[in-house]
Structure 1
Amino acid sequence: MADSVLAVRSTRRPRLLAAWLIVAGAIGLAAAFLLTLDKLQMLRDPNAHLTCSFNVLIGCATNLASWQGSLLGFPNPLLGLVGWTATIAMGVAILASRDGFARWFWLAFNAGVVLAMALVVFLITASLTVLNVLCPWCMVTWSVTIPTFWAVTLYNLKTGVIPVPERVRRVCSALYGWVPLITVGCYAVVAVLAQIQLDWIHRAFV
């Protein structure tokens, strides 16, 4: 275990990853805050016009009122308030730390990112196939969760935090530099699925 910690600590600080975590955390936190405000407004007045509601296709009222919007018995945006605050803190901690972090710390953070990605995949699926609506603040959350998942996971794979064979580490090291393109590919998949399910191009712009 001591060797594992030493290996992680000897790795150069990922300043670019840290900067992204701070930026992504700030964007995600803002989206979660706005969703929380809209949820509170709905509780006060179920017929209120929310800041995220633009038309029958784009709005968050349906999502917030559904059971999918409160998976753990409380509104999902509260998870975002906690999760994105932790993400910002992680980014700041990376920049401030000289010795790096123990493997368990990176693994714990990665586990949180994986759970966030799993939640986003579930909510995207629910929005496109069950709720039939696109929540703008939710989409902002999706847009920063996806690259955060790839960046953190590939970083931990390429540095050996997540133990994998050397060949896999080399592949992940190469893929790490392509996170922006991988992210765009994921966005494209979601956009195509949304078009198939909701015909969003025609309904939103035509």
Structure 2
Amino acid sequence: MTRRSTPTGADRGLAVLLMVCGALGLAASAVLTVDKIRLLQNPGYTPSCNINPVISCGSVMRTAQAEAFGFPNSLIGLAAFAVVLAVGVGLMAGAVYRRWFWVGLQLGTVLGLGFVLWLIDQALYEIGALCPYCMVVWAVVLPLCWYTTLHNHPRLRTRYHWVVPALWYVGIALLVLNRFWYYWRTLL
């Protein structure tokens, strides 16, 4: 006996979240890709997001971590965030996706979150520099994963659904503040 997937749509809030996060992630990935191409063409190129010794895209782009799979990580972002944006637009237009589709989106967001956690660790403790466009990706991946999880597991939904993303942002801010305190205190 085979089980058939039942179609599921999503509420307008999830559709908007997918569109906004997908668009932000896609824009950040596009800027990173263009800057990476320019850096490959001209090793002396200075990306516009090189602001100071801590906030320095160029420092991050020149590391092995920026090409974790042998090609620029931003190319993964271009593909992944384009899919997220398309799913959000589809939902907004009334699309209904089967259960297997939502499981696939869940798997993609979980893998994305795992990759982002590794990149955060690398940026803070190995590279010692921050890329603002990378941080945009950090900011959008958790809500994508969290709200996809809540969609797939409705029993987890509470009126305090915002607590997990809020703690994520506070936690990242504290890690960044702590790691680069030596620099931040010179600005006070």
TM-score with structure 2 setting the length: 0.92
Partner of residue 145 from structure 2, selected from 149, 157, 164 = 149
Q: Where do 1:1-206 residues align within 5 Å?
A: 1-2=3-4, 5-6=5-6, 8-9=7-8, 13-97=10-94, 100-158=96-154, 169=155, 172-174=156-158, 177-199=159-181, 201-203=184-186, 205-206=187-188
- Higher mean C-alpha deviation, range 69-78 or range 184-193: 184-193
Contact in 1 for aligned 2:10/2:151 (Cα 8 Å): no
Partner Cα separation in structure 2 for residue 84 and residue 133 of structure 1: 24
Contact in 2 for aligned 1:62/1:133 (Cα 8 Å): yes
Q: CA deviation at 1:179?
A: 3.7
Contact in 2 for aligned 1:28/1:84 (Cα 8 Å): yes
Structure 1 letter corresponding to 2:110:
V
Q: CA deviation at 1:96?
A: 2.6
- SS of 1:49's equivalent in the other structure is coil
Partner Cα separation in structure 2 for residue 13 and residue 144 of structure 1: 19
Structure scoring higher RCO (CA < 8 A, sep ≥ 6) equals 2
Contact in 2 for aligned 1:147/1:180 (Cα 8 Å): no
Contact in 2 for aligned 1:25/1:85 (Cα 8 Å): yes
Contact in 2 for aligned 1:21/1:88 (Cα 8 Å): yes
- Higher mean C-alpha deviation, range 59-68 or range 124-133: 59-68
Partner Cα separation in structure 1 for residue 164 and residue 15 of structure 2: 19
Over 4 Å off, 4+ runs: none
- RMSD of equivalent CA atoms: 1.6
Q: CA deviation at 1:202?
A: 2.1
- SS of 2:157's equivalent in the other structure is helix
Partner Cα separation in structure 2 for residue 75 and residue 191 of structure 1: 25
Partner Cα separation in structure 2 for residue 127 and residue 30 of structure 1: 20
Q: CA deviation at 1:63?
A: 1.6
Q: CA deviation at 1:31?
A: 0.3
Q: CA deviation at 1:49?
A: 1.5
Structure 2 letter corresponding to 1:15:
R
Q: CA deviation at 1:44?
A: 1.4
* Identical-residue share of aligned pairs (%): 33
Unaligned runs of 5+ in 2: none
Aligned length: 185
Contact in 2 for aligned 1:68/1:123 (Cα 8 Å): yes
Structure 2 letter corresponding to 1:82:
A
State the Cα deviation string for residues 42-78 of structure 1 (Å, max 9, x = none): 1111121211110110011122111110111100000
TM-score with structure 1 setting the length: 0.84
